[in-house]
């Protein structure tokens, strides 16, 4: 145990992250995203920095504070985890190497690093110019997947079933960054939530997902934990560990997407951060696994919990409103749904009075409901009631 109070530097933390820091008894330095307000009455130091575009400013500000060990910087978002790794490297604080975060961000680099360490490698071609996509598709064959090499949130993901779809896709493509062309995997897609520490990589849960299907595969729901056949769970765990080792990931939560095929699990992609879509909240709701507390504890040299404390099932479902009419959900109606049994969060993303957009990527989704249940049957019943109540007549 450290002799002095530990300090955590938190990049744009959610309330769950701040609560985890309080549970650990850590002092906090909070740095919100540029343009967002400082905590109104939160404890600890807080300041603004353009860290999303100028990490050097943040590093200089933190160096001037001369914080005493143990101290580490944490970001649990797509950009925050990358900047946190750089801050920790430059200031000599514990954390993941920036090279690991770069491997996760660059899907081609990750596939190259993993190679055959995680089972049969997925065939792919990296295209740094738009003109390379057609020959890459012809090499991989149909059907195939084309996506930005550094994309997130299903943005830009497209399945191509034949030459005509390729022609249409290329005609509309505004090529601004490298793209991957990958073989199309047939099977059932899962995500795997894990926590890495000095003790190794521990699988927290396997998450079942639902999507819109081809061509964009936007995620419409998640449920955890789900159980697979023992041999499949063992193979999935081995794939995840090999992927994290190949990336050089050492500490904190990760989110790895796999396709369970007839020949075993195949890697889709992996991220050195918690899963999005409230998956980190669902881990706590269902299993008592607080990935934020675990990550900060390991980084600060504190004891890390290593077993679930609950035995429930949790899920999130995204709602879709009628696109021909403006959204009219009132605060009172949202509160009514939030008060239903097992429901823990309700959110509407479309401003009242506006038409809902067509869903091409995660950011287009209209809203969601999060709930938990004692078992899968109870969870599905609660989610179904919540979604029906929220979308009734809309």
Where do the structural domains in the chain lie, given as residue ranges? 7-95, 123-183, 312-394
Q: CA-CA distance, 21 to 393, in Å (whole number)?
A: 43
Give Cα separations from 67 to 44, 61, 101, 226, 392 (angstroms).
13, 11, 24, 42, 53
Q: Which two tokens stand for residue 205?
A: 């849960």
Residues ≥6 apart with Cβ < 8 Å to 388? none
Residue 257 has pLDDT above 60, yes or no: yes
Residue 42 has pLDDT above 80, yes or no: no
- State how beta strands 219-224 and 313-319 pair: antiparallel
For 206-229, write each residue's pLDDT tens digit: 999 999 887 778 899 999 999 999
- What's the rounded mean pLDDT across residues 106-122? 85
Output the CA angle 57-63-65, nearest 5 degrees: 110
312-394 to CATH, choices 3.90.1170, 1.10.3470, 1.20.950, 3.10.50: 3.90.1170
For 75-105, write each residue's pLDDT tens digit: 999 999 999 999 999 999 999 999 999 999 9
7-95 topology per CATH: Rossmann fold (3.40.50)
Residues ≥6 apart with Cβ < 8 Å to 110? 103, 104, 243, 246, 247, 269, 270
Of 100, 182, 185, 116, give the one whose Cα is nearest residue 149. Answer: 182
For 349-388, write each residue's pLDDT tens digit: 999 899 999 998 889 999 999 999 999 999 999 999 999 9
Residue 41 has pLDDT above 80, yes or no: no
Report the top-level CATH class of 123-183.
alpha beta
Q: How confident is the model at residue 394 (pLDDT cuts 50, 70, 90)?
A: low
Q: How confident is the model at residue 50 (pLDDT cuts 50, 70, 90)?
A: very high
Q: What radius of gyration do the chain's Cα atoms show?
A: 22
């Amino acid at each position: 145990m450290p002799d002095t109070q530990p300090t955590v530097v938190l990049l744009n933390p959610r309330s769950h992250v701040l609560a985890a820091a309080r549970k650990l008894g850590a002092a906090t330095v909070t740095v919100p995203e540029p343009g967002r307000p400082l905590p109104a009455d939160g404890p600890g130091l807080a300041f603004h920095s353009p860290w999303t575009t100028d990490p050097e400013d943040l590093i200089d500000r933190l160096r001037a504070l001369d914080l005493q060990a143990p101290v580490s910087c944490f970001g649990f978002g797509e950009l925050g985890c990358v900047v946190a790794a750089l801050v920790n490297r430059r200031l000599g604080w514990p954390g993941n190497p920036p090279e690991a975060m770069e491997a996760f961000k660059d899907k081609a680099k990750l596939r190259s690093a993993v190679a055959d360490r995680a089972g049969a490698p997925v065939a792919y071609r990296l295209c740094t110019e738009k003109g390379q996509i057609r020959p890459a598709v012809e090499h991989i064959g149909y059907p195939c997947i084309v996506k930005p090499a550094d994309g997130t949130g299903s943005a830009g993901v497209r399945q191509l079933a034949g030459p005509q779809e390729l022609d249409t896709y290329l005609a509309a493509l505004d090529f601004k960054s490298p793209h991957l062309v990958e073989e199309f995997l047939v099977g059932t897609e899962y995500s795997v939530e894990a926590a890495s520490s000095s003790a190794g990589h521990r699988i927290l849960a396997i998450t079942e997902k639902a999507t819109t299907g081809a061509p964009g595969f936007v995620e419409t729901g998640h449920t955890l934990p789900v159980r697979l056949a023992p041999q499949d769970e063992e193979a999935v765990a081995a794939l995840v560990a090999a992927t994290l080792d190949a990336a050089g990931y050492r500490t904190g939560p990760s989110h790895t997407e796999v396709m369970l095929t007839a020949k075993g699990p195949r890697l889709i992609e992996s991220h050195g951060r918690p899963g999005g879509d409230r998956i980190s909240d669902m881990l706590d709701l269902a299993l008592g696994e607080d990935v934020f507390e675990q990550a900060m504890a390991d980084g600060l040299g504190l004891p890390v919990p290593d077993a679930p404390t609950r035995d429930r099932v949790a899920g999130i479902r995204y709602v879709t409103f009628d696109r021909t009419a403006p959204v009219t959900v009132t605060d009172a109606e949202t509160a009514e749904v939030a008060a239903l049994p097992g429901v823990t969060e309700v959110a509407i993303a479309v401003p009242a009075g506006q038409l809902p957009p067509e869903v091409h990527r995660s950011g287009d989704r209209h809203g969601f409901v999060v709930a938990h249940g004692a078992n899968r049957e109870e969870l599905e019943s609660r989610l179904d009631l919540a979604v029906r109540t929220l979308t009734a007549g809309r």
